[in-house]
Structure 1
Amino acid sequence: MIDVILATPRHVSLFGNVHEDVFDGPIIPAMLDSFLADQKQHIFIALDDGLICGMCSGMHHHHPDKAPDMWINELSVAEPWRRRGIATRLITALCDHARTLSCHEIWVIADPTDMAEGFYASLEWRKDGTRLAMFSDTL
């Protein structure tokens, strides 16, 4: 059975057992501590017998002219656990949590791949754009 939980600072030890396909790289302990201590950052993890096999992270925020919303930063389920409803459970958990934080909307920017479009369409989310561009600079 796969458990989905909201990770808090008391769950740090769970991040010592992560499938290599969940995050982009190794967990950096100081970054994990900082993330879990930040009340605006949220991460739900999927656990299979103590192994993190999926995660969904988000950040809630607001602007002076907008109600609070939740931005989905990353969603990942390791290959061996895909097509089992885990991503849907992770997103649902983040949505439910966002409601407790008085968020009025949840949104994500994703590469317009067949997998991403199919997944969010299955949730009946609306597609607001057709192109994705990311701009960055080294600081």
Structure 2
Amino acid sequence: MEHALTVRVLEPHESQVLSNVAAGVFDGPIRPESLTDFFSDSRHHLAVALAGEVVVGMASGFHYAQPDKRPDLFINEVGVADAYQGQGLGKKLVQAMLAQAKMLGCGAAWVLTEQDNAAARRLYASCGAEEQPGVVMALFELE
């Protein structure tokens, strides 16, 4: 039986929705302690795509305050199960995060991706993002 696909931002009390996640949506299995930490912080946001009660896509991010400007939203990652790719779910998930950012009064939302990730770059462009030339990401490995 096929289920209608829905996309929505989860509320902090809805962590149980992540008890049924399709393979490939997240990088690894859900860690209970990380899930608790995520939903205990009101600055964390998670949009999910649901096929019935199964999470088949997600976009996670957080908004942060700055002393000199409006808050921004950082979209940390977007993932869609292989069987559900190519159906516009990635775009709907990003749009849900952008709507959340607007509701929060954010001045901008941003995301990083690899230079050679053509699919992600097309996705973000289709949502209205403009690539920023000359940006360098610096990573500090702590373990």
Q: Normalized against structure 1, the TM-score is what?
A: 0.91
Work out the CA distance in 1 between the residues paired with 2:100 and 2:134. 28
Q: Of residues 111, 114, 126 in structure 1, which corresponds to 2:114?
A: 111
In the alignment, structure 1 residue 93 sits paired with structure 2 residue 130 = no
Identical residues among aligned pairs (%): 32
Q: How does 1:30-109 map to 2 (within 5 A)?
A: 30-109=33-112
C-alpha contact (below 8 Å) 1:9/1:33 kept by paired residues:
no
Match of 2:94, SS state, is helix
In the alignment, structure 1 residue 6 sits paired with structure 2 residue 9 = yes
Q: Deviations over 1:52-93 (max 9, x none)?
A: 000001110121122111110111111110111111111111
Match of 1:84, SS state, is coil
C-alpha contact (below 8 Å) 1:2/1:48 kept by paired residues:
yes
Q: Of residues 126, 132, 136 in structure 2, which corresponds to 1:128?
A: 132
C-alpha contact (below 8 Å) 2:12/2:42 kept by paired residues:
no
Work out the CA distance in 2 between the residues paired with 1:106 and 1:52. 24
Counterparts in 2 of 1:62 and 1:86: CA distance versus 1, 3 Å: same
Gaps of 5+ in 1: none
Gaps of 5+ in 2: none
Query: What is the letter of the counterpart of residue 40 of structure 1?
Result: R
Instruction: Name 1:16's counterpart in structure 2.
Output: 19
Work out the CA distance in 2 between the residues paired with 1:132 and 1:79. 30
Work out the CA distance in 2 between the residues paired with 1:78 and 1:126. 26
Q: Normalized against structure 2, the TM-score is what?
A: 0.89
Aligned residues: 139
Q: Deviation at 1:114?
A: 1.3
C-alpha contact (below 8 Å) 2:6/2:50 kept by paired residues:
yes
Query: What is the letter of the counterpart of residue 126 of structure 2?
Result: S
Work out the CA distance in 1 between the residues paired with 2:86 and 2:10. 23
